[in-house]
Structure 1
Amino acid sequence: MATEANGAETGGLVFHPMDQFIVRPLFGDGPVGMFTLTNATLWLALTVLAVIAIMVLGTSRRAIIPSRSQSVGELAYGFVYKMVEDVTGKDGVKYFPYIMSLFMFVVLANFLGLIPMSFATTSHFAVTVVLALAVFLAVTILGFVNNGVSFLGMFWVTSAPLALRPVLAIIELISYFVRPVSHSIRLAGNIMAGHAVIKVFAGFAALAVVSPISILAITAMYGLEVLVAFIQAYVFTILTCVYLKDALSPHH
């Protein structure tokens, strides 16, 4: 939020766009410990409740003429199911519940973070890294369970000249272990950047001269962030499907 500067700073505006990402205790002003209830804890819990409300309560009374919540649940179900089937094939459909849960959590966390005075949980690497590592470990374990040692064959590029295969194997191995890094940074970075830009524009709204322009910029940026919230959830989910496909068919 922009505040009027005083004292050493004369008549300017001070912006603190990153303050919105600070994890604070819900009660009191003490340090944040392992079991401290924080603003991040609250909005993570609200995200889980939102998923339950849409996918469980919203579809509990299914009807031929669907309610709004049932329509949203069915659209999300069909969208993710087709994604899983198209990318991983029939073999990957059995893992649809996990991927569906992942998509709903990420997309609703992104949307809830756009509510004024809320907290964008997916802007924190502590959240996105855990999600990405869960995908990475699950896919790696699944790859060895389904394929055994032959799963390592995905790092050996048989179509390349023999002299280049060891070099390509090292590159493939590094790129494989970089997956959770890129998977998590992409989501957190985009959410954090968008919210920070909106906060900067909101700070300029305090200046009467540029206030109308600032409000227009905030409106346009907010609309873009709504789109980004969905796109980033889609990208996170489809990358999960791609990684799952590698585990199911490492030699494909």
Structure 2
Amino acid sequence: MAAEAHGEEAGGLVFHPMDQFIVKPFFGDGAVSWYTITNATVWMALAVLAVFALLVLGTSKRSVIPTRLQSVAELAYGFIYKMVEDICGKEGVKYFPYIMTLFMFIVFANFLGLLPMAFTPTSHIAVTAIMAFAVFFAVTILGFVKNGASFLGLFWVSSAPLALRPILALIEVISYFVRPVSHSIRLAGNMMAGHAVIKVFAGFAAIAAIAPLSVVAITAMYGLEILVSFIQAYVFTILTCVYLKDALHPHH
């Protein structure tokens, strides 16, 4: 605190772009326990409520001439349904509700995190890893339930020369178990990086000489983050569909 005060008195620039990612109690101060209502808890709950408001309340009337909310809900439904059908086939459509839930939660968590003073749950690997490992275990169990031991054919590249197949099998096994790591880090890393850059530009806005440039940079980064928020939800969802396809049709 003394160092920060000294920096401010000297006219220096003191800001901490990573402070926005600290999980802390939403009410008061103190240590965070498993039962503590934190900023992460509140914003995840708000994301769930937003999904409920759009998909349940927004479509409750089921009007022939849809309202704006119903139009958005129907557009999202059709978009994800077509993705699942195109990648996984008709057999994968039965798992559409789970994939739709993942997409909508990530989209709303990302977008709500762009609000001033908000918290972005998807910037934490603790959140994205739970979703990624849930997908990993679900598709692995499904693969063995649907295909039995033949699910292991996913790792055996029968189209390759016989001498290379053991090496490729080892590579396939490693890449398979790395999936949940890359799946979670990709989303969390992109969300954290964008928000940190915006905070850095916001810190420079305090310097009068470069404040206009800083505002322009913040505006540009904010627009980019809106795009990234959707793209990362899309990437997480489409990879889930690809993994599901491997579980349903494991043979190369």
Which band: TM-score by shorter chain? over 0.9
Q: Give 2:220's aligned residue.
A: 220
Q: Give 1:16's aligned residue.
A: 16
- 8 Å contact kept, 1:85–1:92: yes
Q: Give 2:63's aligned residue.
A: 63
Instruction: Give the alignment of 1:133-148 within 5 angstroms.
Output: 133-148=133-148
* CA deviation vs aligned residue, 1:117-157 (integer Å, no higher than 9, x gap): 00000000010000000000000000000000000011011
- 8 Å contact kept, 1:131–1:184: yes
Q: Give 2:109's aligned residue.
A: 109
Tell me, in whole angstroms, the C-alpha distance in 2 between the residues paired with 1:7 and 1:53.
46
Q: Give 1:131's aligned residue.
A: 131
Q: Give 2:203's aligned residue.
A: 203
Superposed CA RMSD: 1.4
Amino acid at match of 1:92: G
Tell me, in whole angstroms, the C-alpha distance in 1 between the residues paired with 2:7 and 2:59.
58
- 8 Å contact kept, 1:5–1:13: no
Tell me, in whole angstroms, the C-alpha distance in 1 between the residues paired with 2:183 and 2:86.
20
Amino acid at match of 1:247: A
Q: Which moved more, 1:61-70 or 1:180-189?
A: 61-70
Offset at 1:164?
1.4
Number of residue pairs the alignment of both structures matches:
250
Q: Give 1:53's aligned residue.
A: 53
Q: Give 2:193's aligned residue.
A: 193
Tell me, in whole angstroms, the C-alpha distance in 1 between the residues paired with 2:127 and 2:38.
14
TM-score, with normalisation over the residues of structure 2?
A: 0.96
Query: Helix, strand or coil for the counterpart of 2:209?
Result: coil
Query: Helix, strand or coil for the counterpart of 2:216?
Result: helix
Deviation above 6 Å: which 4+ runs of structure 1?
Answer: none
Offset at 1:159?
1.3
- Going from structure 1 to structure 2, the CA distance change for 1:162 and 1:225 (only over 3 Å counts) comes to same
Amino acid at match of 2:227: L
Instruction: Give the alignment of 1:70-89 within 5 angstroms.
Output: 70-89=70-89
* CA deviation vs aligned residue, 1:153-190 (integer Å, no higher than 9, x gap): 11011111222111111110000000000000000000
Q: Give 1:152's aligned residue.
A: 152
Amino acid at match of 1:13: L
- Going from structure 1 to structure 2, the CA distance change for 1:187 and 1:115 (only over 3 Å counts) comes to same
Tell me, in whole angstroms, the C-alpha distance in 2 between the residues paired with 1:235 and 1:48.
20
Tell me, in whole angstroms, the C-alpha distance in 2 between the residues paired with 1:8 and 1:237.
45
Amino acid at match of 1:12: G
Where structure 1 has 5 or more consecutive residues not aligned to the other structure, the ranges are none
What percentage of aligned pairs have identical amino acids?
77
- 8 Å contact kept, 1:5–1:11: no
- Going from structure 1 to structure 2, the CA distance change for 1:8 and 1:201 (only over 3 Å counts) comes to closer
TM-score, with normalisation over the residues of structure 1?
A: 0.96
- 8 Å contact kept, 2:109–2:122: yes
Where structure 2 has 5 or more consecutive residues not aligned to the other structure, the ranges are none
